[in-house]
Chain A
Amino acid sequence: MTHLDAELSKLKATVIDMWNLVLRQLTDSREALEKFDKDLARHVLANEKRVNAYELKINMDCENILALFNPVANNLRFVLAVLRINYNLERVGDYIKTIMKIVNDSESLADPEDIDESQIRIMFETTQDMLTEVLEAFEEENAQPIRNIFAIDDKLDSVNRGANAIIAGLISRKPSEVINYLNLLSIIRRLERVGDQTKNIAEEIIFYIEAKVVRHMKTKNKLIE
């Protein structure tokens, strides 16, 4: 193993650590929402600092690797991909923070059946699955499993689009809980963005492994190899 390979391995391990942290944040935030656990919410908010610290460290490591080793070919694509994945993960962490702030600042939550109807649970589950799958693809450096991520993200988008109508319906039925329902809508929006960031990460992994740039392409094209 050359010096460069050693450094790249370390970088990958750091990214995986950050990724696992963000996954845990996502899981914890779901629990905090479903159980309306403000302590857990505050715990997640405190951990957000660690996510930011990881982002700074990974940025610096990438800069050093580029400066010291002039990587080319797959090594270069890896570092460039990591730089963007790093940014995307930090954004995910930020959205989770926003969701937790909403939970922390609310006096109450909507009723569980209403939460069910809004399909927030499905969105949480979907984003968790997406993020986990993409992490596996990153760890194993295999782009195959994640090609269907884009279709899943499209479903997430359609749920998001339908959310307006659902929330409007809920508000008209119980106008007194309008604040709670608006909060739910905010959370839905954030979760949709989490899905988007995860989709971006998947695009970066395809770039790294297959040297194909699939950003900004329509979904169908991404399924063709």
Chain B
Amino acid sequence: MESTILRTENFNAYFGTSHVLKDVNIAIERNNIIAIMGPSGCGKSTFIRSINRMHELTENATTKGNIFLDGNNIYEMNPTFLRRKIGMVFQTPNPFNTMSIYQNVIAGYTLNGYKLSKADKDVTVEESLVKAALWNEVKDNLHKKGTFLSGGQQQRLCIARSLAMKPEILLLDEPTSALDPISTSKIEELLLSLKDSYTIIIVTHNMQQAGRISDFTAFFYLGELTEWNETKIIFTNPKNIQTQNYITGRFG
């Protein structure tokens, strides 16, 4: 299996006439945690939303250039099929409030009309919740609605929901910005443990978070990928002056 799981080729993204991402070229290896960083408005969220083609769901949003998943051009795939291979977790936890915890975890299957036997469903739910480090906290309440869960637990539920689809890549858009420090560190530990089986791409505003968990960091500035390197190197000796200014807090 090739080690490069995701590759972009001169990728550009637009909202109407506004050029939000400019000629992004990046190659991401399997089983790494990649942090996407940069000041507000630099295109980080647009970038990961382009990976699972959620970007085009916005009105007037267009792209140019290619992205390859495992060597296959994602623009030649069916987008709904693509989104089942790439999981996404958002900034504010968004479990389906009309469904119980159990139903939430397998929502990806039931909403898409996949028929699973009860035994398969049970196994999938348990495995996903275990992987998301939530099983012990909810195993006695699987059929209740998730409204009693704390923010951090809800976010882990969303992660479990994405993991249940057995994706190859997990995209996370500032998953811990809305959470307290303890929940944040639990989720960071969780992501570290998932590294062996998944490739994780996380947009984060929090530099310390990027330092703590990521192997590689991509730094975006005004839509351009200005630096892409091992996190160690970016944090000790960035090559680009903008990266250094951002990291040392001179602008945000």
A70 within 8 A of B: yes
Residue of B with least CB distance to A67: B235
| Selected contact of B211 from candidates A2, A63, A69, CB within 8 Å | A69
Within 8 A of B (CB), among A1-21: 2-4
B232 within 8 A of A: yes
Chain A residues with CB below 8 A from B189, complex form = 2-3
Chain B residues with CB below 8 A from A69, complex form = 208, 211-212
The reply to whether B185 and A70 form a contact with Cβ atoms under 8 Å apart is no
**A68 and B232 contact, Cβ closer than 8 Å, known pairs A3-B192, A3-B212, A4-B212:** yes
The reply to whether B192 and A68 form a contact with Cβ atoms under 8 Å apart is no
The reply to whether A70 and B232 form a contact with Cβ atoms under 8 Å apart is no
Q: Mark B182-219, 1 if CB is under 8 A from A, else 0.
A: 00010011001000000000000000100111000000
Q: For chain B, what secondary structure do more than half of its interface residues adopt (helix, strand, loop), or is it mixed?
A: helix
A142 within 8 A of B: no
The reply to whether B185 and A68 form a contact with Cβ atoms under 8 Å apart is no
| Selected contact of A2 from candidates B185, B232, B235, CB within 8 Å | B185
B136 within 8 A of A: no
B17 within 8 A of A: no
The reply to whether A67 and B232 form a contact with Cβ atoms under 8 Å apart is yes
Chain B residues with CB below 8 A from A4, complex form = 212
A64 within 8 A of B: yes
B236 within 8 A of A: yes
B32 within 8 A of A: no
Give the total of B residues in contact with A, Cβ under 8 Å: 12
Q: Mark A39-70, 1 if CB is under 8 A from B, else 0.
A: 00000000000000000000000011001111
**A67 and B192 contact, Cβ closer than 8 Å, known pairs A2-B185, A3-B212:** no
Chain A residues with CB below 8 A from B192, complex form = 3
| Selected contact of B208 from candidates A63, A64, A70, CB within 8 Å | A70
The reply to whether B185 and A67 form a contact with Cβ atoms under 8 Å apart is no
CB distance from A76 to the nearest CB of B (A): 14
B50 within 8 A of A: no
The reply to whether B211 and A70 form a contact with Cβ atoms under 8 Å apart is yes
B231 within 8 A of A: yes
Chain A residues with CB below 8 A from B208, complex form = 69-70
Residue of B with least CB distance to A60: B236
Residues of B within 8 A of A (CB): 185, 188-189, 192, 208, 211-213, 231-232, 235-236
What are 26 A-B interface contacts by the 8 Å CB criterion? Answer: A2-B185, A2-B189, A3-B188, A3-B189, A3-B192, A3-B212, A3-B213, A4-B212, A63-B236, A64-B232, A64-B235, A64-B236, A67-B211, A67-B232, A67-B235, A67-B236, A68-B211, A68-B212, A68-B231, A68-B232, A68-B235, A69-B208, A69-B211, A69-B212, A70-B208, A70-B211
Please give me the 9 A-B residue pairs with the lowest Cβ-Cβ distance, nearest first: A67-B235, A68-B211, A67-B236, A64-B232, A63-B236, A68-B235, A70-B208, A3-B212, A69-B212
Contacts beyond the supplied A63-B236, A67-B235: 20 A-B pairs with Cβ under 8 Å: A2-B185, A3-B189, A3-B192, A3-B212, A3-B213, A4-B212, A64-B235, A64-B236, A67-B211, A67-B232, A67-B236, A68-B211, A68-B212, A68-B231, A68-B235, A69-B208, A69-B211, A69-B212, A70-B208, A70-B211
Residues of A within 8 A of B (CB): 2-4, 63-64, 67-70
